[in-house]
Amino acid sequence: YGDHRDLHLSLRRQRQMCIRDSFVNMYSLHAIGSAVERIFGKTHTYAAFTLSAMSGNITSCKMSKYPAVGASGAIFGLAGAFAVYLYRHKDVLGSGAEEQLNALGTSLMINAMYGATSARVDNWAHFGGLVGGCTYAYLFGPNFKRDTFGRLKNRPIVDLR
């Protein structure tokens, strides 16, 4: 069973990983969250974040052998919401949207591959959050369409106004 020093090292290592993960999540939330907030507005960003957190944590509880609760599913959800926005508006945003989509997709794939090789990462939570964010953005997010005069008008699929 080992001696008490093994337990102390294990707890110390867990605390270090928790602090590191918190900083990674804070940086990721700042990086993607600020972009999503500029586009979606505060209310929709908070709603997408909350729905993504819930769907990520529920998916983890239902699918994972070792369920986790955390913010990373919600952050993946914001990335998914941003991806839906970019994909939906490629014709308006031009090549920059395609470049951002490629960069976002690459980042998500790297995270998924890392998660597949690490016992500490719950890809189910990431996947659930991603689906939650994509679903929210598809239904309630910005959906700019041209009117008869060629002006862009926001026409979300579900308009809560």
105-116 in b/e form (b: 16+ CB < 10 A) is eeebeebeeebe
Task: Check if 89 is active-site.
Answer: no
The answer to whether the beta carbons of residues 159 and 141 sit under 8 Å apart is no
Catalytic residue (choose from 28, 44, 55, 126): 126
Query: Who's near 102: CB < 8 A, 6+ residues apart?
Result: none
The answer to whether the beta carbons of residues 123 and 116 sit under 8 Å apart is yes
Catalytic residue (choose from 28, 52, 55, 72): 72
SS (H, E, C) 80-113: HHHHHHHHHCHHHHCHHHHHHHHHHHHHHHHHHH
Task: Check if 72 is active-site.
Answer: yes
Residues with catalytic roles: 72, 126
